[in-house]
Amino acid sequence: MEIINFAETPSLVSQYMTELRDVNIQGDMLRFRRNLQRIGGIMAYEISRRMSYVKEEITTPLAVMQSDVLAEKVVLATIFRAGIPFHQGFLDFFDSAQNAFVSAYRKYREKENFDVFIEYIASPRLDGKTLVLVDPMLATGSSMELAYRALLTKGEPAHVHIASIIASQAAIDYVKSTFPADKTTVWVGAIDAEINSHSYIVPGLGDAGDLAYGVKE
């Protein structure tokens, strides 16, 4: 399974990641959402460079020519809430993509133990399509795995791209052991070494959903 880590090559993604992580900047919710969206747009472009295209005949005002068009049927899937601005960044570029939405939430049994529940899914058929699963945080990997399993009830995608802003090393290992290696590509802004006893990524950025939309009760 190929893992593409944007942190290995400093770029504007690194600048936006810094702003997402820094407690002195991340409190500006508009900027936080906008940075998730901007990284989504950049990742969308990088993923598009791996996709297949076909030549189509078009007519310009001056001539007839062959021009490339995307050959893959793309479905952009995300997980509520924090996935929404990140997903919008992908949709800004994949204009004709279909979209899927999944709700996943942590229900704590005790302070440090929780189960992840999926309650809502809205998705087109996925057979033979390119599924781009986007969620900014990949902490344990449970939400991503459960969302993927829920989406498989809608058909078998030809290829899966997983895109995250920050992944823990444990989540990367988990994704490697649970997703099909021959047809999954992982794109991450950074891989952080640890998750804490509440399964938050360290150093991470905190609670992405709360930072984007306000602290929930």
Ligand X SMILES: O=c1cc[nH]c(=O)[nH]1
Residues that bind ligand X (CB under 6 A): 82, 137, 139, 200-201, 204, 207-209
As a whole number of angstroms, the distance between CA 69 and CA 97 comes to: 13
> Which residue lies nearer to Mg ion by CB, 83 or 209?
209
Kindly determine how many residues on this chain lie close enough to bind Mg ion according to the rule CB under 5 A: 2
In sequence order, what are the beta bridge partners of 188? 5, 164
Residue 189 binding result from Mg ion, ligand X, ligand PRP, none, given CB thresholds of 5 to 8 Å by partner type: none
CB atoms within 10 A of CB 116: 17
Listed in sequence order, the residues at least 6 apart from 21 whose beta carbon sits closer than 8 Å to its beta carbon are: 203, 204, 205
Q: How far is the CB of 208 from ligand PRP (least distance, A)?
A: 5
Of 114, 132, 136, 131, residue with least CA distance to 192: 136
Read off the amino acid at residue 173.
D
The stretch among 9-17, 59-67, 123-131, 206-214 that binds ligand PRP (CB under 6 A) is 206-214
Near ligand PRP by CB under 6 A: residue from 50, 81, 176, 183: 81
> Which residue lies nearer to Mg ion by CB, 173 or 207?
207
> Which residue lies nearer to ligand PRP by CB, 130 or 140?
140
> Which residue lies nearer to ligand X by CB, 101 or 213?
213
Read off the amino acid at residue 86.
F
Q: How far is the CB of 18 from ligand PRP (least distance, A)?
A: 20
> Which residue lies nearer to ligand X by CB, 93 or 200?
200
Beta strands 64-70 and 53-59 are antiparallel
Does residue 209 touch Mg ion according to CB under 5 A? Answer: yes
Contact 185, 160 (CB under 8 A): yes
Per-residue x/- mask for ligand PRP, residues 163 to 182, rule CB under 6 A?
--------x-----------
Of 165, 149, 146, residue with least CA distance to 157: 149
96, exposed or middle or buried, with CB in 10 Å at 0-12, 13-18, 19+?
exposed
Q: How far is the CB of 188 from ligand X (least distance, A)?
A: 13
The binding site for Mg ion (CB under 5 A) comprises: 207, 209
